[in-house]
Amino acid sequence: MSNSHEEMWEKLNLDLEAHAGLLQVLGKFYGDIYMSQQGRLRGMEYLDFVLSEVHGLRIKELQDAKAAGKKIVGTFCVFVPEEIVLAAGGIQVGLCAGAEIGKGEAEKVLPRNTCALIKSFVGFKLSRLCPFIESCDLIVGETTCDGKKKAYEIFSDYSPVYVMEIPQMKNNSDRKLWRSEILRFKDQVEETTGNKITAERLREAIHLVNERRRVLQRLNSLRASVPAPISGRDALLINQISFYDDPVRFTAKIGELCDELDDRIKSGGSVAPKGTTRLMLSGCPMAVPNWKLPYIIESSGAVIVGEESCIGTRNTRDLVDEGARTLDGMLDALVDRYMQIDCACFTPNTERLGNIVKMAKDLKVKGVIHYALSFCQPYSIEAYKVEKALTGAGIPMLAIETDYGMEDVEQLKTRVEAFVEMTR
């Protein structure tokens, strides 16, 4: 990680010493987990560069955009419709919550038995370690799980937070609620940016975000090839970076990477030897730099070929219908698309079960590893139903609960190795 943007970080009021330590640890972690891989695609150099400059050049771009009058909106959940922010001339960034570096500070204000993702974003803020959080003009929370919902009340003491109400069911009344929440969000974004959203601007924004989803859908479908043409770690990194990078540039670069993948598949190339066990991940999102479990899996004789998660197919599977011509029609299309998200915060959440089984079959996996963060009730409870659906379809599942700490790595490795062996 580059360390050459100190003046900018100082202006953002980061704790420079702690931040330098974070970059050093991340650089080492990335080197061990990513740069040690064999047979990576040339196109991954772009992702390596973006990650190496994620706190540097990308933040500089955001600061330049702010100086030119643009507003930055930070989010923690794929329910927040980026199309609205883009249509108002803003920039949306996903705020990463995949490291435990601020855990000590977070535990001063949150119970210890809170999921690692929540502790991570609160910890980043309280420890002044995240230049993305500090660049935001507005941070959007949501009422998904109870932990997040209540943590935003604390977070709002330190940052400008706006909370969207997410329905918990999918009846007509829930759709109505969600439509009114999208309208309320539109008003807020117009106020923050000072720009009115027109039908023309929203149409362009819908197309832009759909294009990014399409290129990630293409990547996912290429991963159905046997043998696997790209590692799960690299595919996860691509999905993670999709939340930070400029959407036009990212879509173009991943398009080029998919062309390279296509060539590799046609020439019979692969990233793992023929016969390597194909597995799929399912469950909680894995935010940067949460690469622990993928690394364990891919060093245990398996390759990950899909992620059923918000940093994965839950964020890319559904497109917004582009047929509407009026602003109202486009808002309806947004409402319908976002209501299809199958987060475990919904009850019942049967669509997710069908989606997981279909994905596992399409990707020809030998098994699924269900990943829940410790203390995440929605996903750890839903694991029971997921396992039932998968075993009913003849696909074995291993349920794992963990956090961002490294203490359980050996224990997890033993369980994953046994599962891989069993699927053979």
Binding stretches for ligand BJ8 (CB under 6 A): 77-79, 115, 117-118, 144-145, 147-148, 284-285, 310, 341, 343, 345, 373, 376, 378-379
Least distance in angstroms from the C-beta of 99 to ligand BJ8: 14
Residue with smaller CB distance to ligand BJ8, 25 or 339: 339
Least distance in angstroms from the C-beta of 283 to ligand BJ8: 8
Least distance in angstroms from the C-beta of 393 to ligand BJ8: 23
Residue with smaller CB distance to ligand BJ8, 289 or 378: 378
CA 310 to chain centre: 5
> What does the alpha-carbon distance between residue 194 and residue 136 come to, in Å, rounded to a whole number?
15
Residue with smaller CB distance to ligand BJ8, 12 or 284: 284
Name the helix (H) or strand (E) containing 415. Answer: helix 409-423
Residue with smaller CB distance to ligand BJ8, 287 or 357: 287
290 contacts 315 by C-beta, under 8 angstroms: no
Least distance in angstroms from the C-beta of 165 to ligand BJ8: 13
Mind spelling out the 3-state secondary structure of 288-348?
Answer: CCCCHHHHHHHCCCEEEEEEECCCCHHHHCCCCCCCCCCHHHHHHHHHHHHHCCCCCCCCC
Residue with smaller CB distance to ligand BJ8, 114 or 127: 114
- Which among 92, 149, 88 is positioned nearest to 118, based on CA atoms? 149
Residue with smaller CB distance to ligand BJ8, 5 or 352: 352
- What DSSP line would sit under 36-97, residue for residue? T-SS--TTHHHHHHHHHTTTTHHHHHHHHHHHTT--EEEESSTTS-HHHHHHTT-EEEEPP-
Least distance in angstroms from the C-beta of 231 to ligand BJ8: 23
Instruction: Output the six-digit token pair for 43.
Output: 């196109």
Residue with smaller CB distance to ligand BJ8, 305 or 311: 311
277 φ/ψ angles, rounded to the nearest 5 degrees: -65, 125
78 contacts 341 by C-beta, under 8 angstroms: yes
CA 294 to chain centre: 14
Residue with smaller CB distance to ligand BJ8, 324 or 399: 399
From the CB of residue 312, how many other CB atoms can be counted at a distance below 10 Å?
25
Residue with smaller CB distance to ligand BJ8, 136 or 376: 376
Least distance in angstroms from the C-beta of 84 to ligand BJ8: 16
363 contacts 392 by C-beta, under 8 angstroms: no
* Helices within 73-171 (DSSP H only): 82-87, 103-109, 116-126, 131-135, 146-155
Amino acid in the structure at residue 161 = V
Residue with smaller CB distance to ligand BJ8, 284 or 390: 284
Least distance in angstroms from the C-beta of 144 to ligand BJ8: 3
Residue 244: helix, strand or coil by DSSP?
Answer: coil
> What does the alpha-carbon distance between residue 411 and residue 184 come to, in Å, rounded to a whole number?
47
Least distance in angstroms from the C-beta of 119 to ligand BJ8: 9
Least distance in angstroms from the C-beta of 9 to ligand BJ8: 27
Least distance in angstroms from the C-beta of 183 to ligand BJ8: 20
Instruction: Output the six-digit token pair for 11.
Output: 């202006």
198-to-106, 152, 190, 325 alpha-carbon distances in Å:
41, 30, 11, 11
